[in-house]
């Protein structure tokens, strides 16, 4: 199986955490896996490695630049509350705790980058005979060697997407948008090109603003549910549907056997903490509590 890892990072954060992520993939993932690093004109960070390709997302995705330019001066499209004439508006139906305050949930401009990095990678990788694209957030760290069979078992041939879902199968309550720090895209699936085209169209036509939330994880969730319902697409949820517990689903899943994810304030600590971990449910695929890395982790990040 030929796999490409892709990631991107905010300008100014390369030495803070992104470099550590990339170097850990080079050190601990299978040696034939290549990495595409998407950036926004940050040549000072570049270094040569035969497994790395640097890509300026603004150069290869003019539709992204057009979207960001169109909405850069609209506070609402950037997660704030102040409305402007001709600007976008949050849906009145949204009743979450962030209803009356600025929130990342509505920062469409900020999170558009990730979407267009993924769609570009998929469009340009099929002809090079890749089998899977794996998105990996730049604030992750692979802390020990990852066996190839582990990785390949995560990304089956019969599903279009592999992701960390947070839809609770017991409650049947609709759940919450996925944790998208790790997402696998099956390049051989017959619907994958339609999926990414539809994903881009949500931004090109501004129809994402008709959704309840506008960040990449919610838009991805919305579209994946449509494809499951309308096209009978199968997905591989390695989160709650596999018995994983906890809000920090990334490290409590199988991925936590090899990778840490520095969500939010954990970036400052450069580690998740033991109080992020939850005992697995019966039948869960892994017990990360037995891993030495987690035994040595700080007890709390708060």
| Residue 180 counted as domain residue | yes
Does residue 175 surpass a pLDDT of 80? no
Residue 177, phi then psi, degrees to nearest 5: -55, 150
Does residue 173 surpass a pLDDT of 60? no
Q: Return the closest-CA partner of residue 272 out of 301, 243, 240.
A: 301
pLDDT in tens, 67-119: 999 999 999 999 999 999 999 999 999 988 899 999 999 999 999 999 999 99
Residue carrying the six token digits 């494809």? 227
Write down the pLDDT at residue 233.
95
Write down the pLDDT at residue 265.
75
Give the C-alpha separation, 115 to 172, whole Å. 28
3-8/235-237 β-pairing: unpaired
Give the C-alpha separation, 199 to 119, whole Å. 8
Could you give the number of structural domains in the chain?
1
If you average pLDDT over residues 21-26, what whole number do you get?
A: 97
If you average pLDDT over residues 256-278, what whole number do you get?
A: 83
Give the C-alpha separation, 146 to 277, whole Å. 20
| Residue 19 counted as domain residue | yes
| Residue 300 counted as domain residue | no
| Residue 302 counted as domain residue | no
Residue 33 sits in a domain whose CATH number is 3.90.550.10
Residue 121, phi then psi, degrees to nearest 5: -60, -40
For residues 33 and 4, is the Cβ–Cβ distance under 8 A?
Answer: yes
pTM for this model (two decimals): 0.94
| Residue 301 counted as domain residue | no
Does residue 27 surpass a pLDDT of 80? yes
| Residue 229 counted as domain residue | yes
Write down the pLDDT at residue 140.
96
Write down the pLDDT at residue 302.
58
Write down the pLDDT at residue 176.
87
**What residue ranges in the chain does DSSP mark as E strands?**
3-8, 34-39, 52-56, 132-136, 140-142, 161-166, 176-186, 235-237, 259-261
Write down the pLDDT at residue 34.
95
Does residue 127 surpass a pLDDT of 70? no
Determine the structural domain holding residue 37 and report its residue range. 3-295
Q: Return the closest-CA partner of residue 70 out of 214, 216, 205, 220.
A: 205
Give the C-alpha separation, 260 to 237, whole Å. 19
Does residue 237 surpass a pLDDT of 60? yes
If you average pLDDT over residues 143-159, what whole number do you get?
A: 94
If you average pLDDT over residues 266-275, what whole number do you get?
A: 77
């Amino acid at each position: 199986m030929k796999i490409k890892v892709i990631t991107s990072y905010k300008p100014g954060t390369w030495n803070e955490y992104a470099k550590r992520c990339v170097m850990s993939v080079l050190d601990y993932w299978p040696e034939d896996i290549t990495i595409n690093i998407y950036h926004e004109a940050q040549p000072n960070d570049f270094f040569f490695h035969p497994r790395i390709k640097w890509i300026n997302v603004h150069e290869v995705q003019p539709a992204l630049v057009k979207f960001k330019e169109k909405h850069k001066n609209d506070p609402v499209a950037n997660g704030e509350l102040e409305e402007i004439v001709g600007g976008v508006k949050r849906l009145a139906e949204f009743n979450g705790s962030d209803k009356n305050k600025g929130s990342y949930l509505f920062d469409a401009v900020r999170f558009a980058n990730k979407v267009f990095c993924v769609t570009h990678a998929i469009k340009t990788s099929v002809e090079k005979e890749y089998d899977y694209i794996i998105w990996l957030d730049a604030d992750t760290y692979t802390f020990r060697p990852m066996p190839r069979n582990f990785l390949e078992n995560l990304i089956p041939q019969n599903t279009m997407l592999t992701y960390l879902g947070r839809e609770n199968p017991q409650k049947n309550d609709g759940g919450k948008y996925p944790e998208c720090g790790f997402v696998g895209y099956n390049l051989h699936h017959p619907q994958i090109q339609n999926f990414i085209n539809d994903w881009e169209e949500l931004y090109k036509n501004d129809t994402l603003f008709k959704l309840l939330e506008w960040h990449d994880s919610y838009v991805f969730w919305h579209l994946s549910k449509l494809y499951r319902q309308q096209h009978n697409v199968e997905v591989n949820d390695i989160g709650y549907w596999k018995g994983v517990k906890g809000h920090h689903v990334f490290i409590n899943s199988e991925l936590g056997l090899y990778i840490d994810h520095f969500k939010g304030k954990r970036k400052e600590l450069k580690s998740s903490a033991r109080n992020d971990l939850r005992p697995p449910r019966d039948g869960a695929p892994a017990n990360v509590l037995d891993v030495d890395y987690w035994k040595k982790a700080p007890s709390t990040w708060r």
